[in-house]
């Protein structure tokens, strides 16, 4: 009989305490029960059930086809697989278009999964959405810079904050989400110098992805970290393992074992 020792799950107060004492915050995505358990046992601070599951798990080219039901199913599995990490679930495309829609979506996520927070994408325009959720007692992580749900409007995936005007907009967006009550903010693919400046200006944690080393913490897609994929990872991801090769080798050995040695052709 297996036994899991009792542990206390981290809260947003714990995440803020990490920042206050100068300890970087480690966040990774997880989409299933087993992966969540392994990352949790390894001591990860935050597990993000990202709508990147559309690309990584479901095989879509973008995150746009991911539904709220998809997120709830996977977030529930991650929540059940973990006992220490703070679990954050993305609100997918079309489910946080305005404060009331976002509120209904977030309530469904929290009630049906048991996770502790939700994440919403969007600049300063989305700050009222953050405020509405926070007013109802929902912990919100904001997400600015490269926002994959807006890929078509943005015109692709590229680094943000290169111009002075765009830099000002990103700073204003970060400050607006902080004022609205977000407990942390993801800075995705932002010019590193700008990400560092935003991190200095804010009193809440910044979680960088492809935005340089000077954010309060970092996040990666777990598959990119462990080298489990059939396509190359993004340029900013540095895999720490090559799990894909291990899988291919194990499967090849299994196939050879099942099929057995090839029969020699009969002598003529």
Residues flagged as binding site? 51-52, 90, 119, 121
Q: Which residues are annotated as a binding site for Mg(2+)?
A: 51, 90, 121
**Between the CA of residue 205 and those of 35, 119, 120, 158, 240, what are the distances in Å?**
25, 14, 15, 23, 25
Is residue 121 within 8 A of residue 173, CB to CB? The reply is no
- Listed in order, strand segments (DSSP E) in 38-116 are 46-49, 86-90
159-185 burial, b at 16+ Cβ within 10 Å, e below that, comes to bbbeeeeebebbbebbbbbbebbbbbb
45, two tokens: 């601070």
Is residue 114 within 8 A of residue 74, CB to CB? The reply is no
Is residue 192 within 8 A of residue 214, CB to CB? The reply is yes
Is residue 45 within 8 A of residue 18, CB to CB? The reply is yes
Q: Using alpha carbons, select from 40, 60, 41 the residue that is nearest to residue 51.
A: 60
Which residues are annotated as catalytic? 188
Residue 212's CB: how many other CB atoms inside 10 A?
A: 17
Vertex 59: Cα angle to 228 and 126 (nearest 5):
100
DSSP 8-state class, residue 266: P
Q: Which residues are annotated as a binding site for 3-methyl-2-oxobutanoate?
A: 51-52, 90, 119
């Amino acid at each position: 009989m297996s036994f899991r020792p009792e542990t206390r799950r981290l809260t947003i107060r714990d995440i803020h305490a990490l920042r206050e004492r100068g300890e970087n915050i480690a966040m990774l995505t997880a989409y299933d029960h087993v992966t969540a358990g392994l990352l949790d046992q390894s001591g990860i601070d935050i597990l993000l059930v990202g709508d990147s599951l559309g690309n990584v798990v479901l095989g879509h080219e973008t995150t746009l086809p991911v539904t709220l039901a998809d997120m709830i199913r996977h977030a529930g599995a991650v929540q059940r697989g973990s006992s220490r990490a703070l679990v954050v679930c993305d609100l997918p495309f079309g489910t946080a278009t305005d404060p009331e829609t976002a509120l209904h979506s977030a309530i469904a996520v929290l009630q049906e999964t048991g996770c502790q927070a939700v994440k919403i994408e969007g600049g300063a325009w989305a700050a009222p959405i953050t405020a509405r959720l926070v007013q109802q007692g929902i912990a919100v992580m904001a997400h600015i810079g490269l926002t994959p749900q807006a890929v078509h409007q943005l015109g692709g995936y590229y680094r943000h904050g290169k111009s002075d005007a765009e830099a000002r907009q990103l700073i204003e967006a970060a400050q607006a989400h902080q004022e609205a009550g977000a407990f942390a903010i993801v800075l995705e693919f932002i010019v590193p110098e700008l990400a560092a400046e935003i991190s200095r200006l804010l009193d809440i944690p910044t979680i960088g992805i492809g935005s340089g080393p000077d954010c309060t913490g970092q996040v990666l897609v777990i598959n990119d970290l462990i080298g489990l994929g059939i396509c190359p990872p993004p340029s900013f991801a540095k895999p720490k393992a090559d799990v894909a090769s291990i899988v291919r080798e194990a499967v090849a050995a299994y196939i050879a074992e099942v099929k057995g040695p090839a029969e020699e052709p009969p002598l003529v």
